[in-house]
Copies of this chain bind each other. A is one copy, B any other.
Amino acid sequence: MDKRPIGIFDSGVGGLTVVKQVMKVMPHENIVYFGDTARLPYGSKSKEAVTKFSKQNVRFLLTKEVKAIIVACNTASSNSLEELHKAFDVPIFGVVDAGVAEALRTTQNKKIGVIGTAGTVRSRAYEKMILRQEATMEVFSKACPLFVPLAEEGWTENEVARLTAENYLEGLLAKGIDSLVLGCTHYPLLKRCIGTVVGENVKLVDPAKATAKQVKLFLQEKGITNLEEKTGERTFYLSDYTDMFYSICQKALKQGYHPEIMDIEQF
Contact = CB atoms under 8 A, between A and B. Distances in A.
A133 B7 CA distance: 52
A240 B49 contact: yes
Interface of A: 37-40, 44-46, 48-49, 145-146, 148-150, 152-153, 155, 158-160, 163-164, 167, 240-242, 244, 265
Given A44-B244, A146-B146, 18 more contacts: A37-B45, A38-B45, A38-B49, A39-B39, A44-B152, A44-B242, A45-B240, A45-B242, A46-B241, A145-B149, A145-B152, A145-B153, A146-B150, A146-B153, A146-B160, A159-B163, A160-B163, A163-B163
Nearest to A39: B39
Contacts of A164: 160
A149 B146 contact: yes
Of A37, A38, A241, most buried by chain B (CB within 10 Å of CB) is: A38
Contacts of A45: 37-38, 240, 242
